[in-house]
Amino acid sequence: MAAEDQTPRTQPSTGKSKKRKKPKKDKWGQTIPTAGDHPAVEPEQEPPVEPVPAAAAAAQEEEEEEEAAGIYENGKVVASGLPYTITEEEIRELFERFGPLGSLQLSRFPDSGNFRGLAFVSFESNEDAMKSLELDGFKIGNRFMRVERCRMAAGSKRKRTTEFQTDPEKADGCLSAYVGNLKWDVTETVLRDFFKSLKIGSIRFAINKRTGDSRGFCHIDFEDDESLEKAVGMNQFELHGRPIKIAYAVSNRG
């Protein structure tokens, strides 16, 4: 008797395929990701650039150094590039998919009070904050949002200083304010006119020692606490087309 053909045969699948849940979509028609998912729409890809091995190694080392030095705020991320029409509730709903939030702060234009497309999101745990970085490049409407870790006070000259940090607290006896983001042509006369209702003792500009030009910020000493408080309350007011930064001066005394 001839040996039977021992070639294995593929058995037909008898199981029924599971139905996939229909993904939720936002009001712009984009799929809302959940923890572990990737953004539904990938960001526009720029032409690939081959990194130089030495430069890549240096960047990795720099990132590790910053991590060890505590450069980033724990459990906090910054979302930028958001549509001006999005609401606080919609932003909260988007990020709460990764974990409970501790706080949500929206940045607004000083003149109109309208949302400027920038939000600071604090999670109750740093692990949830790291998961939310998956939203980086997620498309909302016609814009691609940017989500990154929130940097603390600038201590590195290798990366740009951002406003993604907490303003310094007022020191005992402080009567001075830091005023930044000034145009290079802003003079003492211009500043005194800007703060004309306040009592100013002196104004100290930061000067570039090589060129003798203004470095774009100064410190103002006020004569009384009331003037200082009113000045800090003018933070983000516009001067010569720029929203200027006004905060309590940081004491250098240990």
pLDDT digits (tens, 9 = 90+) for 141-197: 888 889 998 887 444 334 434 443 466 788 888 999 999 889 888 999 999 999 999
- Give the bridge partners for 103, in sequence order: 122
Task: Give the residue carrying structure tokens 């692990």.
Answer: 127
Task: Give the residue carrying structure tokens 């045969």.
Answer: 9
| Beta strands 214-222; 139-140: pairing state | unpaired
What is the overall mean pLDDT for the chain? 76
The answer on pLDDT for 240 being more than 90 is no
Q: Under a CB-based contact definition with an 8 Å cutoff, are residues 213 and 173 in contact?
A: no
DSSP state of 31: B
- CA 7 to chain CA centroid, nearest Å: 62
Q: What is the pLDDT of residue 215?
A: 86
Q: What is the pLDDT of residue 163?
A: 42
Q: What is the pLDDT of residue 151?
A: 80
Which stretch of 108-112, 200-204, 232-236 has the lowest confidence by average pLDDT? Answer: 108-112
Of all residues in the chain, the percent with pLDDT exceeding 70 is 65
DSSP output for 123-180 = ESSHHHHHHGGGGTT-EETTEE-EEEEEE-S---SSS---S-SPPPPPPTT--EEEEE
Q: What is the pLDDT of residue 201?
A: 95
Output b/e per residue, 174-204; b: 16+ Cβ within 10 A.
bbbbbbbebeeebeeeebeebbeebebeebe
Element (H, E) at 54: helix 53-69
Q: Per-residue pLDDT tens for 26-70?
A: 666 666 666 555 444 444 454 554 444 444 444 455 555 445 445
Helix (H, G, I), strand (E, B) or coil at 189: helix
Q: How confident is the model at residue 224 (pLDDT cuts 50, 70, 90)?
A: very high
Q: What is the pLDDT of residue 6?
A: 54
